[in-house]
Structure 1
Amino acid sequence: MKELKKLNKLFVKYKWQLLGGFLVTIIARVLSIFLPKYIGKIINLLNDWGNGKITDESFLNDQLLLYIGIILGTTLLSAGLTFVMRQLIIVVSRHLEYDLKNIIYNQYQRLSLGFYKQNRTGDLMNRISEDVSKVRMYMGPALMYSVNMITLFAVVIPAMIYTAPTLAIYTIIPLPFLSVAIYLVSREIQKRSKLVQEQLSSLNTIAQESFSGISVIKAYNLSQQMNEQFTVVANDSKEKNIDLARIQALFFPLMVLLIGLSNILVLYIGGKQAAEGIIEVGVIPEFLIYVNMLTWPVAVVGWVTNMVQQAAASQKRINEFLDINPAIQNLVETDTPVTGNITFNNVNFVYEDTNIQALKDVSFSVEAGKTLAILGKTGSGKSTILELIGRLYDVTDGTIVIDNHPIKELNLDILRQAIGYVPQDAFLFSDTIGNNIAFGKKDASEEEIIEAAKNAVVHKNIIDFTNDYDTVLGERGITLSGGQKQRVSIARAIIKKPQILLFDDCLSAVDTETEEKILNNLKKVTKNTTTIIVSHRVSSAKNADQIIVLDEGRVVENGNHESLIKNNGYYAELYTNQMMEDDR
């Protein structure tokens, strides 16, 4: 149960609904005791009539009507209260499920980029869906049935002992044996439940990656291979589920056996005591109903234990992520406006997952409203600089200063709100094109969306679609070409009108003519915006106020276009080569 303790703070939020549900449960179960008691009275009444002890027929009829009325009244009231109980407790469990999913989702949002490089999407999805569903069964049905079970035992067993002590003892003898069996089996259930959930994560991961990469799978004709891979994991999942089902299957046969034994004892011992005059005949059917009333609680012991064990296994998997402290922490709660002055002082950065040093003693400054271009070979550390400015990672050594404040002394939320970021791999949501652009500004008007699209030189492409801006994109924007995705992503960044714009090689999929148009438009819309452009093309960088060239994580050149051409270094060589390619 230690893994489930983290849920206690959620229960406190709904304590009055839960307490009300528990109270209603207790009252409903107390009322249910009237059924066997008065059925026993009816049997005794009819037995006395048959033996001649009662001769007044009107008295008999009056008593029968009274007893039947009590049975009907208490049964209907108990049923109504049971309905109220379910409305209170089960509905609360849905609210708790909603809260838990939001807690997990918020934690996912807080966790740093490095976390997502080390964990697979399918596993993350499984923990917020399947694992939470298992935990909900503990927060709702398991609690409800537990209270129901405890109340029934507390009411029925004393009633049995009061009515016929010796018969009661014989009747409940099988129950302790069932409890011991449940204890032994439940330990195995927990182990197998954890294996089932882990295997389900693997299954979800393969399915998710197959759907996301379907174009690559089809292009390489790997459908059969992927199907075989999925089949192997699915079969493994099936075997683990069968193993779990086998151990779960012990509960109900065991319950039926022991409850059947109790019924036999009631008939045998009760019959002997009735024949000897120790108890009345009506006690036998009364006890048979008691035993069958206890059948469900006894069954629930196994079911609840099963649910709790599965919930504990699932909550343990959830806690593994909830217990992770984000590598990037918001250390400042006060308002820290950003204007866009950026300085790197001897910055070093090493990726923890690969131990690759991406940056080595990098230093440069960009004034607010100016444009910096960063060039370099693949793997030289260009994208890392942008990730550090957005505090997707923290530096390993050195300092990043924004507006004369170390970056950690800025409110993280305000910093990121001040940044418009266009990643190298443009990501678009499965939504309309208009909503994808407006993602950068929640309250964007239609005119602002169109203006941003025009500045990104994608407006004409959009209006050619059947539903223009209302066109719904496929997953990750698969409906669009690479260049169109990049330009929609640019429109999404500039509509935000941020203080800092970061472009990570986002013009690689467009032709030079379109690139020139976009860059000219960006000059107009980013007059007072600090702009950093990462590119492989000199054409994207030549008009920048400042250009730095990286090589293996170090700044090897720094200046403007003219000064770097004169230096006759990497930049000049790159410029010459690309000019020759354009002339061809």
Structure 2
Amino acid sequence: MRIFLDLWWFFKQEKWKYLIGIIFLMCSSLVSMLPPYVVGVIVDAIRDRQLTPSILGKWVIILAAAGVVSYTAGFIWRQMIFGSSVRLARLLRDRLFHHFTKMSPSFYHKRRIGDLMAHSTNDILAVQDAAGEGILTLIDSITMGAMVAVSMITLVSWKLTLIALIPMPFLAWATSYYASLLHQRFHKAQAAFSELNDKVQENIAGVRVIKAFGQEQAQKDLFRKQSADVVTKNIAVAKADALFDPTIIFIVGMCYLLSLSFGAVFVVHGSMTLGELTSFTLYLGQLIWPMLAFGLLFNIVERGRASYNRIDKLLKIKPDIVDRKEVLDRVPRGHVSFNIQQLVYPEHTIPVLKDIQFSLAQGQTLGVVGKTGSGKTTLLKLMIREFDCEDGDIQIGGVSIYNVKLSKLREAIGYVPQDHFLFSATIAENIAFARPEASIADIERAAKLANIHDDILEFKDGYQTVVGERGVTLSGGQKQRISIARALLMNPDILILDDSLSAVDAHTEEAILRALKANRDNKTTLISAHRLSAVQHADLILVLEEGRIIERGTHDTLMANDHWYASMFRRQQLESLVEEGGAYS
């Protein structure tokens, strides 16, 4: 029953609804004690030839009234108890979603999306059942069982009641053992479902890669294996669950055997009437539900407990990136300066950035280039605090970004990542993601700056075209330019383009950069790129290698130095000329 202690905070929050529900549930149970007693009275009246139409009518009216009371009470307690459990599910979903939005990238690096989805669906439903069906079966099994036992003792025979309940201790031991077994197996079944859920999500997202490499059969075989594992673990749960009902039915059968055997002896000896034995038998029949409910209770609460443990464990993980104490609640503006001694990822020992110092006046453009894995993306992500640097500082307008409220910092920055993610919505809604209130004129202006406006107009529905999940219906270049338009619509003081022009051709790249220069007066831009033509106009260019700055300066300065930058630029220019020459041959 640990789950009820774990959820005590919610029961206190919804105490009046649960209290009303429990009261009406007990009323419904109390009313159900009447029919067996009435049947016993009528049986004795028939035996003694004293049953008259008026007596029968009186009891029929009483039973009808009891039915109405039971119906009304049942409606109310279902509204109160089940309604509260639905609110618990909504609350847990909100908490999980809010928690997910606060977590840093390292959280998602360690956890699979399918597993997080399973927490948000199956686990929450199991906890909801514990707070609804679990409370119902707990209260009903106790109150109904107690009322039946009291009715049997007070209205019929306390001796026969004690005899009939002799097998009960065995039932208590058996259900406790089954519950422990169920908890262990259900936890494993939920974990297996999480893995399967993640596999499905991963395969759907990567279906193009799977088809391109001809791995459909291999993935189907792997899925079939994982699916079989889920089935095996759930069958193990079902086997533990299946032990409850046969055990309970066996115990009930033993109770009936003892009741009828000793009850018949009592009737023969005159210490009990036939009607009382009939009532006792009917009461014993009503005791079947509390016994079944008791077994069902262990099933529900152990499932709920296993799922709540999984959810609670997830919610207890603290986000890595949080607001520090006494931060400024304003959008930072001004020159940008980096002073990073070194940056080491959590659980790593080798620095990914080291000795990074530079300043950028407001309105200037920074270019960051280097080989793959040199630290370009990490450097830019430090600006939006996807990672925190403990050994160094970054300032905007002379104020440390760690002394500014996180929401205000990100309000100052427009970020276009390498992974240009689009939502399953219209193109207009994707561009207006950061400014949902933006007018269509503002959306079109941002699209023109990103050189995507003409492409959008060629679609049948224009800006109302619905893109597929993650923008699957668009080309890589179109997705990149829509992502750029989304950032430009914010009109941020600082714009970060993290290799965001890699999927467009050189002419489109030039048009976008020219538009940015003309329309972002006195606003700062940071660009990382593999294609050096994207940064040759920058006021400052940094060349990174293994997290260190090996060259810095303007395009002309770096060309004059004739090191890595100059060599790579000439090579890329030659490749561009060859491609253009090939196009015209």
Normalising TM by the smaller chain, what interval? over 0.9
Kindly provide the amino acid, as one letter, of the partner of residue 511 in structure 1: D
Matched residue, 2:368: 374
The Cα shift of 1:569 comes to: 2.3
What are the residue-to-residue correspondences of 1:31-430 with 2, within 5 Å? 31-49=31-49, 54=50, 60-163=52-155, 164-332=157-325, 335-352=329-346, 355-430=349-424
Q: What's the CA shift for 1:336?
A: 2.7
Amino acid at match of 1:170: I
1:282 is paired with a residue whose SS is helix
The alignment's TM-score, normalised by the length of structure 2, stands at 0.95
Where 2:522 maps in the other structure, the secondary structure is coil
On the 8 A contact 1:347/1:400 being kept in 2, the answer is no
Q: C-alpha distance in 2, partners of 1:180/1:113?
A: 48
The 1:399/1:146 distance shift into structure 2, 3 A limit, reads same
The answer to whether the 8 Å contact 2:332/2:397 transfers is yes
Pairs aligned (count): 576
C-alpha distance in 2, partners of 1:276/1:439?
Answer: 85
- The 3-state SS of whatever aligns with 2:172 is helix
- C-alpha distance after superposition, 1:206-258 (max 9, x if no partner): 11111000001111111100000001111111111111111111111111111
Per-residue deviation, 1:451? 1.2
| Secondary structure in 1 matching 2:395 | strand
Residue 547 to residue 82, structure 1, CA distance change in 2 (3 Å): same
Paired residue for 2:513, among 506, 512, 519? Answer: 519
Work out whether 1:443 is the aligned partner of 2:437: yes
**Which has the higher mean CA deviation after the structures are superposed, 146-155 or 121-130?**
146-155
284-293 or 515-524, larger mean C-alpha shift: 284-293
Letter of the 1:343 partner, please give it: S
Query: Offset at 1:539?
Result: 1.4
**SS of residue matched to 1:431:** coil
Q: CA deviation at 1:330?
A: 1.7
Shift, 1:355, TM fit? 4.8
Q: What is the alpha-carbon distance in structure 1 between the residues aligned to residue 351 and residue 330 of structure 2?
A: 31
Partner amino acid, structure 2, of 1:199: A
SS at match of 2:393: strand
- Which range moves more in the overlay, 511-520 or 21-30? 21-30
State the Cα distance separating 1:264 from its structure 2 match: 2.4
Residue 542 in structure 1 maps to residue 554 in structure 2: no
Deviation at 1:144, TM superposition (A): 1.6
Deviations 1:176-195 (A, max 9, x none): 21111001111111110011
Deviation at 1:552, TM superposition (A): 0.9
Q: CA deviation at 1:574?
A: 2.2
Counterpart Cα distance in 1 of 2:166 and 2:572: 90
User: 1:154: Cα distance to partner?
Assistant: 2.6
Q: 486, 489, 502: which is aligned to 2:483?
A: 489
Q: More displaced, 118-127 or 70-79? A: 70-79
| Equivalent AA in structure 1 for residue 370 of structure 2 | G
8 Å Cα contact 2:352-2:546 kept in structure 1 = yes
SS at match of 2:154: helix
Shift of 1:320: 1.8
SS of 1:556's equivalent in the other structure is strand
Residues 343, 352 of structure 2: 8 Å contact kept: yes
Alpha carbons 2:3, 2:301 under 8 Å: kept: no
Partner-residue secondary structure (3-state), 2:273: coil
Kept after mapping to 2: 8 A contact 1:114/1:353: no
Retained in 2: the 8 A contact 1:3–1:319?
no
Q: Structure 1 residue 307: deviation in Å?
A: 1.1
Matches of 1:525 and 1:205 in 2, distance apart?
44
C-alpha distance in 2 between matches for 1:146 and 1:536: 64
SS in 2 for 1:357: coil
Offset from partner CA, 1:133-173 (integer Å, 9 cap, x none): 11111011111221111111232211211121111111222
One-letter amino acid matched to 2:65:
G
Give 3-state SS (helix, strand or coil) of 2:382's partner: helix
SS in structure 2 opposite 1:389? coil
**Contact 1:376/1:536 (<8 A) preserved:** yes
Cα separation, 2, equivalents of 1:2 and 1:151:
20
Q: How many Å separate the matches in 1 of 2:441 and 2:54? A: 83
* Contact 2:340 2:389 (C-alpha < 8 Å) held by counterparts: no
Identity of aligned residues (%): 38
List per-residue Cα deviations over 1:467-516 (Å, max 9, x = no partner): 12122112211111110110010011111112221100000010110001
Q: Which stretches of structure 1, 4 residues or more, deviate above 4 A after TM superposition? A: 1-6, 353-356
| 8 A contact 1:35–1:75 mirrored in 2 | no
> Any stretches of 5+ residues in structure 2 without a counterpart?
579-585
1:92-118 deviation digits (Å, cap 9, x = unpaired): 111110110111111111111101011
Distance 1:64 1:112, change over 3 A: same
TM-score (norm 1): 0.96
Contact 1:347 1:396 in 2 (8 A): no
Q: Secondary structure at the match of 1:351?
A: coil
Distance verdict in 2 for CA 1:500–1:6, change over 3 Å: farther
Q: How far apart, in 2, do the equivalents of 1:501 and 1:347 lie?
A: 24
Cross-structure match for 2:582: none
Q: How many angstroms apart in 2 are the aligned matches of 1:554 and 1:409?
A: 26
User: Contact conserved, 1:369 with 1:529, CA < 8 A, in 2?
Assistant: yes
Which SS does the other structure have where 2:195 is aligned?
Answer: helix
Structure 2 distance, partners of 1:459, 1:165, is 87
Contact residue 377 and residue 551 of structure 1 kept, 8 A: yes
Q: 1:7 to 1:238 in 2, by over 3 A?
A: same
* CA root-mean-square deviation: 1.6
Do 2:82 and 2:133's aligned partners in 1 also have CA atoms closer than 8 Å?
yes
Compute the displacement of 1:566 (Å): 2.3
Q: CA deviation at 1:578?
A: 2.1
Change (3 A) 1:5 1:353: farther
Cα distance in 1 for residues equivalent to 2:143 and 2:352: 64
The residue number in structure 2 matching 1:561 is: 555
CA distance in 2, matches of 1:368, 1:127: 45
Aligned AA (2:153): I
Structure 2 distance, partners of 1:376, 1:325, is 34
Q: How far is 1:77 from its partner?
A: 0.9
CA distance in 1, matches of 2:181, 2:423: 43
Moved more, 15-24 or 503-512: 15-24
- Tell me the amino acid that sits aligned with residue 262 of structure 1: C
Q: Distance in 2 between matches of 1:85 and 1:247?
A: 30
Worse overlay, 551-560 or 185-194:
551-560
State whether residues 382 and 389 of structure 2, in contact with CA within 8 Å, keep that contact through their aligned partners in structure 1.
yes
Q: Name the amino acid aligned to 2:293.
A: V
